[in-house]
A and B are shown apart, each in its own frame.
Chain A
Amino acid sequence: MRSIELDPNLSRYASRTRGMRASEIRALFAVATRPEIVSLAGGMPFTEALDYTAVGEVTAGVIADSGPTALQYGGGQGLPALRERLVDVMAAEGVPASPDDLVVTTGGQQAIDLIGKLFCDPGDVVLAEGPSYVGAIGAFAAYQAEMVHVPMDAQGLIPAALAERLDALAATQRRAKFLYTVPNHQNPAGVSLSLARRREVLEIAYRHDLLVIEDNPYGLLDFKAEVRPPLRALAPDRVLYVGTLSKIFSPGIRVGWVAAPEPIRDKLVLLKEAADLCQSNLTQYVAERWLGTQPWLRQVDAYRQVYRERCEALLGELGAELPPGCSWSEPTGGFFVWLRLPAGLDSGELLAKALRARVAYVPGRAFYADGSGAQELRLSFCFPPPERIREGVRRLAEVLHGEVELVRALYGDA
């Protein structure tokens, strides 16, 4: 008799990798990228809206003018000239900043990861909206932090619920390391935090000595170009600000950043150097030249028009097609609509059927660290053109109508 060890390194893995397993849902997504499936799943920016001639000229210009340095290592904090341009982006987003405050990262995702590495010991509590950004859930989970969700409504995170969570933690002698929040056009819920609530959240943060991580990928993608005051602008000493060029220029260049108070910034630079020495100089030069020589705000405007049209297509079709008992957020910007299903339906269990009907979405459980979200799901309107979005919603609606009948027959009307 022979025992067969498929992974001889099993006993060597760190305990933090224990939750990393193959998943049925991920396997289902292997077919979601096929062309015949309308994918309302991925949050991919519509990069076809970029001016490729301009991008080509910018890139060629970088090589012609700065080839040797662009192809060399760079500093851990990021290219100084780029940090100056990122300050312009932050100004457009409504936050005053200095280039010295910023650390350039590999997309906003690396900023989130470094923040987790800096603050989270195993068992630490971090607070986040429920639902929250799946990339943040994964990053903080890798540091074995426990994410506690704060519920939201149409005005965003509910301040009273935040205070309640903090009191409950204090009552058990625990404290949250920070609140992670996406106040503008949140991924996945598609709602924005109202101005009054921004002030309330910050008051609570001061009262409880709570650090706030503000992630703002969609701030400039408001359909009416409205800029809501970022938390960082209201409380610079309390808030770490995570920014990115992924949604306003390109996710492929992997340029994000974090703005942090000085002592935190210094530690983030050391962590960045330990992670990957430095940001790619080449893409930093391209980003710097894009922001410095191109009408980038006009590009943002072009993106905004594309996404507004797609969002309208999605919302219109949802209203016309979905069965009673469904409800959804009505975003005023960003990429996402959050859909709540009638009682008894499970978005995870339903995915296989939806894929057979050739439409894909992301089941709600992906956006909670605590296993909730079965009755919810996320729809993205950023990538497919409007007519495909409408077709996708019709396919989804047919699946939902059938499922409502099935569930009613199985459970009764109770």
Chain B
Amino acid sequence: MGLAVAVLAGGLSFEREVSLRSGRRVAEALTARGHRVSRLDLDHHLVAGLAEGGFDIAYLALHGRAGEDGTIQGLLELLSVPYTGPDAVTSALTWDKAVFKGLLRRAGLPTPDWVAISSDAVRDMGAGKTLERVIERLGTPLVVKPSQGGASMGVRTASVPRDLAGALVSAFSHHQVALIERFVAGTEVAVSLVDGEVLPAVEIVPREGAAYDFAARYTAGATEFFAPARLPTAVLAACSEVALAAYELADCRHITRADLIVDPDGQPWLLELDTCPGMTETSLVPMAAAAAGWDFADLVERVVTLAAETGAPVGV
């Protein structure tokens, strides 16, 4: 006897298409496992649909703001519908990179040094004049990204003040706070965690030496992946340790992905946590699960079971 599952996908974010693809795959897998699945978009009908649907679980296949910033989690808590992934507070904490990196630093976890700067500070307080100082402190090259956002959108690199200004303009187009981060050269690694269990790390190698940018993420074949990552055992263990510590620090649950860079000395640096990781054909968590010997349906079923065990929150 399967569960009644609402797969939430789509929404108003710029990652709408990716989310719809994730949602379709998740829905197919759950249907094949005997669950009764409905797919719901994030639109004006959502609350009515959830209220009338009699769902046991909401599976969040959302990416971008509405799915990852805690908004939908808060709503589901209000409606007493159990859902997959971390709760509203954890989602909100990890969604804002500047906030979460601050938590990591306080906890002594390795994350590349950064400066957060808001467009208001630039426009109204003359913060644009501090760019040379930012470069002095962080060195070059730098990565500039919107403090909130996903899929590498609005992410640019810079090495001189003029490029840094241009990169800030790009980041501010997506969010009013930009993160200027020291660029760590090295091996990109994604560590997936399911219920606190660390899956094999996936190594990300963009072809033609390009960055793992939007095009590299979503063009099949533009990036090569290795699972487990081709790193020494001790380095892999260090990656797992950092990822798990961050997972616990943020009080994550069910499913989360940690993005790291391992520098040439074998030191892992945590970039961010993704609390609603992609589940498309080109996504990292399904690759990690496959390397652990789970097929896609096993993974999705596991997450749904965990959410059912957690149940609806009480007394929110």
**A interface with B by C-beta (< 8 Å):** 1-7, 9-10, 21-24, 27-28, 30-31, 34, 346, 349-353, 355, 402-403, 405-407, 409-412
From B127, B214, B227, B230, give the contact of A24 (CB < 8 A): B214
Partner of A31, one of B14, B154, B219, B230: B14
Q: Is B287 an interface residue (CB 8 A)?
A: yes
Taking CB atoms, residues of chain A closer than 8 Å to B229 are 1
Q: Among residues 163 to 191 in chain B, which have CB atoms less than 8 Å away from a CB atom of chain A?
A: 165-166, 168-170, 172-174
How far does the Cβ of A52 sit from chain B's closest Cβ, in whole Å?
29
Other contacts beyond A24-B213, A349-B173, A409-B128: 4, CB < 8 A: A6-B221, A6-B223, A349-B169, A352-B174
Bound Cα distance A350, B172 (Å): 9
A-facing residues in B246-264 (Cβ within 8 Å): none
Q: How far is the CA of A31 from the CA of B174 in the complex (A)?
A: 14
Partner of A4, one of B153, B230, B287: B287
The answer on a CB contact under 8 Å between B225 and A7 is no
- Give the shortest distance, in Å, between B215 (CB) and chain A (any CB): 4
Binds A, one of B48-56, B67-75, B118-126, B135-143: B118-126
The contact sample of 29 A-B pairs, CB cut-off 8 A, is A1-B230, A3-B224, A4-B202, A4-B225, A4-B227, A5-B221, A6-B221, A6-B223, A6-B282, A22-B215, A24-B153, A24-B215, A27-B14, A27-B153, A27-B218, A28-B14, A30-B16, A31-B14, A346-B166, A346-B169, A352-B153, A352-B173, A353-B172, A353-B174, A406-B119, A410-B131, A411-B128, A411-B165, A412-B128
**B217 proximal to A (CB < 8 A):** yes
Query: By the criterion CB–CB under 8 Å, are A406 and B221 in contact?
Result: no
B169–A410 contact, CB under 8 A?
Answer: yes
**Complex interface: chain A residues within 8 A of B215 (CB):** 21-24
The chain B residues found within 8 Å of chain A, CB to CB, are 12-18, 119, 122-123, 126-128, 131, 151, 153-154, 162, 165-166, 168-170, 172-174, 202, 213-215, 217-230, 281-282, 287, 290-291
Asked if A409 and B122 sit within 8 Å, CB to CB, the answer is: yes
Which residues of the other chain, A, contact B218 by a CB distance below 8 angstroms?
A: 22, 27
CA distance A21 to B223 in the complex (A): 12
The CA of A92 and the CA of B183, in the complex, are separated in Å by 62
B-chain residues with CB within 8 Å of residue A6 when the two chains form the complex: 220-221, 223, 225, 281-282
Complex Cα spacing A7 to B16, Å: 23
Determine the chain A residues whose CB is within 8 A of the CB of B17 once the complex forms: 27, 30
B221 in contact with A7 (CB, 8 Å): yes
Within the complex, the shortest CB–CB distance from B244 to chain A, in Å, comes to 22
Q: Can you name the residue of chain B whose Cβ is closest to the Cβ of A348?
A: B170
Residues of B within 8 A of A412 (CB): 128
A258 CA to B15 CA, complexed, in Å? 40
Whether A1 contacts B128 by the Cβ 8 Å rule is no
User: Are B227 and A2 in contact (CB-based, < 8 A)?
Assistant: yes
Residues of A within 8 A of B126 (CB): 409
Report how far A353 CA is from B168 CA in the complex, Å.
Answer: 13
CB distance from B309 to the nearest CB of A (A): 31
Task: Give Cα distance in the complex from A214 to B123, angstroms.
Answer: 47
Known contacts A22-B215, A24-B214, A410-B128; A2 and B173 CB within 8 A of each other: no
Q: How far is the CB of A116 from chain B (nearest CB, A)?
A: 24
- Do B122 and A406 have beta carbons less than 8 Å apart? yes
Q: Which chain A residues lie closer than 8 Å to B166 at the CB level?
A: 346, 349
Q: Determine the distance from Cα of A221 to Cα of B13 in the docked complex, in whole angstroms.
A: 37
A5 to B291: give the CA distance in the assembly, Å: 13
Q: Which residues of A are found within 8 Å of B281, using beta-carbon distances? A: 6
A81 to B119, CA, bound (A): 63
User: A22 to chain B: which residues have CB within 8 Å?
Assistant: 214-215, 217-219, 222
B13 shortest CB reach to chain A, Å: 8
- Chain B, Cβ-Cβ closest to A13: B221
Complex CA gap A30/B10 in Å reads 10
Neighbouring B residues of A23 by C-beta, 8 Å: 214-215
Distance (whole angstroms) from the CB of B207 to the closest CB of chain A:
9
Q: How far is the CA of A149 from the CA of B14 in the complex (A)?
A: 32
Question: A410's contact among B18, B151, B165, B174, by CB below 8 Å, is which?
Answer: B165
Nearest residue, chain B, Cβ from A350 = B173
B12-A31 in contact (CB<8A):
yes
Q: What residues of B have a CB within 8 angstroms of the CB of A2 in the complex?
A: 226-228, 291
Say how far A1's CB is from chain B's closest CB, in angstroms.
Answer: 6
Residues in B whose Cβ lies below 8 Å from that of A409: 122-123, 126-128
Decide yes or no: A27 and B151 within 8 Å by CB, A2-B227, A7-B220 being known contacts: yes
Q: Which residues of B contact A402 (CB under 8 A)?
A: 123
Q: Flag if B14 contacts A1 (CB, 8 Å).
A: no
Given the known interface contacts A2-B291, A349-B170, the answer about A406 and B123 at a Cβ–Cβ threshold of 8 Å is yes
CA distance A4 to B284 in the complex (A): 10
In the complex formed, the residue of B with least CB distance to A355 is B14
Q: Which residues of chain B have C-beta atoms less than 8 A from A1's C-beta?
A: 226-230
Which residues from chain A contact B168 at a C-beta distance below 8 Å?
410
Task: Report B-chain residues with C-beta under 8 Å of the C-beta of A3.
Answer: 224-226
* CB nearest to A9 among chain B residues: B221
Taken together as a complex, chains A and B put the C-alpha atoms of A409 and B124 apart, in Å, by 8
Residues from chain B with Cβ under 8 Å of A7 in the complex: 220-221
A409 vs B213: C-alpha distance in the bound complex, in angstroms?
28
Please give the distance in Å from B211's CB to the nearest CB on chain A: 12
**A34: B residues at CB distance < 8 A:** 12
State in angstroms the CA–CA spacing of A217 and B219 once bound together: 34
CB within 8 Å for A21 and B230 given contacts A355-B14, A409-B123, A410-B128: no
